[in-house]
Amino acid sequence: MISNSAQFELMSEFRAKCKKHNLKMTPQRVTIYQELVKAKDHPGCEDIFERVHKKFPDISLDTVYRTLSTFADIGVINQVEGYGEAKRYDPNTGRHHHLRCLKCNSIVDFQDTTFNNLRIPKSVEKSFVVNNIKVILEGLCKECAKK
């Protein structure tokens, strides 16, 4: 769950960033953004299309692809790293990390202060400008580990 005020805050940041990048506020964009914000599963374009489609039967798949890609470009959402299957997106642009199940492909968020505060190695700093550090833990989720 997410509080109403946090919801509102998020929405006005969204509107502000869109305006900054000259993106018009269309019902498609609002709906797609809200649907992604609700999602906890780092969904792909088809997933979002299916969810949005219920409320908005005329939306096209292309619009979902285009819109999510645009949102990622302007930084209101993030694309998730993966292994070359369909692209997946993350509404959470704050600092956090991922658990990836290698069997069912679930991606779950987690927080860790150690991981948040990793130092960039000196040797790297000389040859590379680091924008962000990602830590990914790969393995098996509880359900998949049971089998």
Joined tokens for residue 64: 């979902």
Nearer to DNA, 73 or 138 (CB): 73
Residue 74 binds to a second copy (criterion: CB under 8 A): no
The span from the CA of 120 to the CA of 98, in Å, is: 19
Closest CB 118 distance from a second copy, rounded Å: 7
Residue 112 binds to Mn ion (criterion: CB under 5 A): no
Q: Is 62 helix (H, G, I), strand (E, B) or coil?
A: helix
Instruction: Give the bridge partners for 88, in sequence order.
Output: 44, 80
Using an 8 Å Cβ cutoff, are 85 and 96 in contact? no
Site for a second copy in 96-135 (CB under 8 A): 99, 101-102, 108, 110, 112, 114-115, 118-121, 123-124, 127-135
Closest CB 123 distance from DNA, rounded Å: 31
Using an 8 Å Cβ cutoff, are 94 and 81 in contact? no
Q: Contact with DNA (CB under 7 A): which of 63, 76, 98, 100?
A: 63
- Catalog residues that contact Zn ion under the rule CB under 5 A: 101, 103-104, 141, 144
